[in-house]
Chains A and B, each alone.
Chain A
Amino acid sequence: MALFAAVAIAATAGGVAYHLGSRGGGSTAAADSGAVVEQVYAARLADLKGRAQALGQWQGQVLVVNFWATWCAPCREEIPGFVRMQERYGPRGLQFVGIAIDQPDKVAEFSREFHINYPLLIGGLETVELMRQAGNRAGVLPYTLVIDRDGKLVSREPGGLKEARLERIVQPLL
């Protein structure tokens, strides 16, 4: 009887175990936040005119990096708030940077329509990888990183960000 049960369980578990095994190395732990910020500063991406821009140029400011796309409705909803905040807090050292996982022409059109007053860069596959390393394993958009003046990763925000919430995060840093 015991032998029988063992065979039964083995036959069932065989398939299950195989697949568990085939999942491979498990989850890659998100890199520590210091390394993430370094990678952000090191990234060079094309702007809407096709010129490469290094994100490192905003080092020392309170940097809000927003990953988004024009086809992503929840991303678009938060952008007017970003525009207002850039206007209000820009003089005090707050800098938004939008990284669009998108086609440049769509982004340019969107930028005009919404009067975006901060730099927009075009991201590709390597940007998606950067985003994943920053803890966004599922690759969701929008995804927003807040980095303080000392290069410390203060917050990672998956999903739509309300203006009030972002203000609470940013104000102590300014």
Chain B
Amino acid sequence: MRFVLILLLVLSSLARGAEPELLEPDQAFRFMARLKDARTIEVNYQIAPGYYLYRDKFRFTLAPADARAGTPQLPAGKLKRDEFFGEVETYRGHLAIALPFELDADATTAITLTALSQGCADVGVCYVPHEQKARLSLAAAGGAASDASLGQLLGLGQRAPGADDALIARVFESGFWLVVASFFGFGLLLSLTPCVLPMVPILSGVIVGAGHPVTKTKGFLLAAAFVLGMAIAYAVAGVAAGLSGAMLSAVLQNPWVVGAFAAVFVALALAMFGFYDLQLPVALQGRIAAASNRLHGGHYAGVFSMGLLSALIVGPCVAAPLAGALLYISQSRDVVLGGSALFALALGMGVPLLAIGASAGALLPKAGPWMETMKRFFGTLLLGVAIFLVSPFLPVAVQMFLWGALLIVAAIYLRAIDPLPAGAHGFQRFSKGVGVLALLAGLVYLVGAFSGGRDILQPLSGFRITAREGEPSAAPFQRVNSPAELDARIQAAAGRTVMLDFYADWCISCKEMERYTFSDERVQARFRDMVLLQADVTANTAEHAALLRRFRLFGPPGIVFFDREGREIRGLRVIGFQPADRFVAALDQALGFR
């Protein structure tokens, strides 16, 4: 029933495309209000690009009658020449107004704010005075999210399938627990993606690396500590980034940070292979042992901090929800809600890890050769994760060499070239089979590395007859480095659809987009009808920051489309990796937009 309802509403919103370039006032002037403190309301407007509000036209009233609004503190606007009124002040972008108020009755628990605003669009229309309401609960000063925008959620007529950021940002405009629950759901969905895979060997490594037999309960508890650490890292990072507005993903995906993580994995892997015993200095060990005897869990602190650190690794995977969440937090400054939502997201992502924690304890034998095999397996996985992490910074040939080397060494451990004893039992035969496969795959990668293979999934592509020599290996992007340059390029596009791609060397999803999506023939075909711009923000100069700010992005990945008149097509952004199928749909929408 509900599904049918959703379908109907989606259809009805699609059907209202009569004046597509003009936003509904609720979307042109997105309204949010919250209690700043017990006597001040903070009124926020997020004004869409190309729209503006008049400074002298705001009217704020409060209900019930015992609440009285004071004089709103309006920041200085931008002066606009008006031939009839002289100079008028207008606002664009984000606007925050502090509205003091007084209460006669202390018993009042909720007030309703009615805000009247007047604004216009640059395309040459104005809106009749527009009324927006917000209900504010006085009990929850600080974290109160307004429910004014409930109706706005998914109310965007132009909502497009590719607009991850818009969806997430809108989900935020709802009740507190709903947001948290939704984010938990997002986390669960994310856990179904391969993103969480790197976490599995880390966690297993931690649990297996504990050395002594692990019970089900202990495995579960260790996993819980790990997930909790991860969740707290997300919450803290999200809130901090929101407050500072910094490029969080830039920091997290910095080559040095990633390199350090990879080094940790290599160290862990070597320990798994038994090259050395991973041990703390004896004195420290003694103290921790004593502490853990007393506290029942000295070990948990280590696992917890491991969780904290590993949260940073999967950053690129959760780019889309993270970007949306950070976008919202930085705009609303509602750090409580933002932090909680990210915490819930990480908990959702951790659910399968908990299951693995519990089962790892159950699966592991008490001792014996099994344990050694298991350790080697996880060691190999850890090395694989290390290669995966640093691969964005390495040439494809080097990546192939590393994968080849890893596969071959693993094959040797699987006794791929040792003769099978005459009476070998099933498991030995099976493991030799796997070993031979790994050996062959490793050889293919080595050959690929030395023969100029350019695609990690097709290592031998270097041998392909290069008849299509003229084929553009990369899409022909024009570089833009500043807002001024962008405007010039958009103007020069003269009636063609423009795509602006934010890119940085450290951005893993950008590289994935390039390799798997942009190279797709269907995508290439559509690219021919567009002007392709790319902003490489690796250097992160002031101009780059200005570009990102203009589109309210925190950093790459982010793809923005402009219609034939050079206006941004709102709600059609692509944030994070998209496979070719979905991306083609987004391109078609952009091309069909008028």
Contact = CB atoms under 8 A, between A and B. Distances in A.
A121 to B, nearest CB: 15
B22 A15 contact: no
A22 B8 contact: no
Interface residues of B, number: 55
Interface string A8-46: 111111111111111110110000000000000000000
A17 to B, nearest CB: 5
A10 B185 contact: yes
A172 B88 CA distance: 41
Interface string B172-213: 001000110110111011011000000000000000000000
A16 B125 contact: no
Contacts of B130: 139
A139 B118 contact: no
B155 to A, nearest CB: 6
A8 B189 contact: yes
A11 B154 CA distance: 17
A17 B2 contact: yes
B8 A26 contact: yes
A14 B185 contact: yes
A113 to B, nearest CB: 8
Given A11-B185, A73-B126, A159-B125, A24 B174 contact: no
B126 A23 contact: no
Q: Which of B16, B25, B128, B182 has the most CB of A within 10 A?
A: B128
Contacts, number: 139
Interface string B152-185: 0111000000000001001100100011011011
A4 B189 CA distance: 9
B82 interface: yes
Interface string A132-162: 0000011111100000000000000011100
A169 to B, nearest CB: 18
Contacts of A73: 82, 120, 126
Contact of B188 (A11, A22, A72): A11
A63 B230 CA distance: 68
A101 B171 CA distance: 35
A22 B22 contact: no
B570 to A, nearest CB: 14
Contacts of A17: 2, 5-6
B452 to A, nearest CB: 41
A102 B19 CA distance: 25
Contacts of A15: 171, 174, 178-179, 181-182, 185
Contact of A140 (B54, B82, B126, B153): B126
Given A26-B12, A72-B126, A73-B82, A9 B189 contact: yes
Nearest to A30: B18
B368 interface: no
A140 B125 contact: yes
Contacts of A7: 188
Given A11-B181, A12-B182, A20 B126 contact: no
A19 B24 contact: no
A128 B186 CA distance: 41
Given A15-B178, A26-B8, A139-B128, A4 B188 contact: yes
Interface string B342-354: 0000001001100
Contacts of B246: none
B472 interface: no
B521 to A, nearest CB: 31
Interface string A34-74: 00000000000000000000000000000000000111111
Contacts of B151: 22-24
A18 B189 contact: no
A26 B9 contact: yes
A97 interface: no
A16 B171 contact: yes
B84 interface: yes
A10 B192 CA distance: 14
A5 B179 CA distance: 19
Nearest to A110: B84
A148 to B, nearest CB: 22
A141 B130 CA distance: 12
Contacts of B184: 11
B314 interface: no
Interface in B33-70: 54, 57
B516 interface: no
Contacts of A170: none
B174 A101 contact: no
B128 A101 contact: yes
Most B-side CB within 10 Å, residue of A27, A72, A73, A131:
A73
Contact of A138 (B24, B85, B155, B171): B24
Contact of B154 (A23, A75, A141): A23
A20 B5 contact: yes
B267 interface: no
B127 interface: yes
B580 interface: no
Contact of B54 (A4, A23, A24, A71): A71
B437 interface: no
B125 A141 contact: yes
Which among B25, B126, B127 has the greatest number of chain A C-beta atoms within 10 A? Answer: B126
A11 B190 CA distance: 13
Interface string B221-251: 0000000000000000000000000000000
A142 B142 CA distance: 41
Contacts of A9: 185, 189
Contacts of B181: 11, 14-15
Contacts of B167: 16
Interface in B94-152: 118, 120, 123-130, 150-151
Interface in B67-89: 82-85, 88
Interface of A: 4-5, 7-24, 26-27, 69-77, 101, 110, 113, 128, 131, 137-142, 158-160
21 contacts: A8-B188, A11-B182, A12-B188, A14-B181, A14-B182, A14-B185, A15-B171, A16-B153, A20-B6, A20-B9, A22-B153, A23-B9, A70-B85, A73-B82, A101-B129, A137-B16, A138-B22, A138-B127, A140-B22, A140-B128, A159-B124
Given A13-B185, A74-B126, A142-B125, 13 more contacts: A9-B189, A12-B188, A16-B171, A17-B2, A23-B155, A26-B12, A27-B12, A73-B120, A138-B23, A138-B25, A140-B125, A141-B126, A141-B127
Pairs of residues from A and B, 9 with the lowest C-beta to C-beta distance, nearest first: A11-B185, A8-B188, A12-B185, A19-B153, A15-B182, A72-B126, A74-B124, A140-B125, A139-B128
Interface of B: 2, 5-6, 8-10, 12-13, 15-16, 19, 22-25, 54, 57, 82-85, 88, 118, 120, 123-130, 150-151, 153-155, 167, 170-171, 174, 178-179, 181-182, 184-186, 188-189, 191-192, 348, 351-352
